[in-house]
Amino acid sequence: MALLKADSAEDRYLVNLVLKGDNSAFTTIIRNTERLVTQIVFKLIGNTDDRKDLAQDIYLRAYKGLPDFTFRAALSTWIAQIAYNTCLNYLEKKKYTLLSDWEEIADDDTEETDHVLNTIVALADKEVDQGILQKQRTAIIHQAIETLPPLYKTLITLYHNEELSYGEITSITGLPIGTVKNYLFRARKTLKEQLLKQYTKEEL
């Protein structure tokens, strides 16, 4: 799901309607962005009840902030920023860390990190019975992703599931583009190692 371009006619139309008191227009904004917001909240926050409260808080903040929205980014990007920062504030108050005890990564803008998740799937397929169904492989990969630290899960999801660019992810998270690439590289590497290890055990 690629994000809308900054300063799109649809964004301006919907925001102007909301500012004029049309609450149904804000409902449309929610509908247009709820998948992206849900992905961010679910990958960063583990507690189900807190997820619901945070989602409400995110859209309340967005509603109150609309008069100051400058259209320098797509509306969906701006709301995703609110979602990410709201979750970040929650984690900081709970004294959780995005990478837990995982190794911190230096800011290195290297093109070597520009791989796709399909490579991981292809490598994993070499280690498993070719009769395994695609749905089973997908479920296994999703389960493996859930074992990653919150930040890794979020970046993998934004890049591969939501098909966002490095620039869009940088806008949402505030991380330098080199750091985004490095974290994605480490997340993919860890994911591949976990999958190969699991598949190898199953074949023994």
The stretch 50-64 carries a mean pLDDT of 95
Handedness of CA 89, 95, 96, 100 (dihedral sign): positive
What class does CATH assign to 9-93? mainly alpha
Q: How many CB atoms lie within 10 A of CB 177?
A: 14
Q: Helices then strands (H, E): number in the chain?
A: 9, 0
State residue 48's pLDDT score: 87
Distance of CA 78 to the CA centre of its chain: 14
Q: Which long-range contacts (CB under 8 A, 24 or more apart) does 54-61 make?
A: 54/86, 54/87, 54/90, 57/86, 58/82, 58/83, 58/86, 59/30, 61/86
Class of domain 111-203: mainly alpha
The pTM (predicted TM-score) of the whole model is 0.78
Confidence of residue 102 (pLDDT cuts 50, 70, 90): very low
pLDDT tens digits, 167-180:
999 999 999 999 99
Report the distance separating Cα 19 and Cα 127, nearest Å: 56
Domain locations along the chain: 9-93, 111-203
Q: Looking at the predicted structure, is the pLDDT value of residue 101 above 60?
A: no
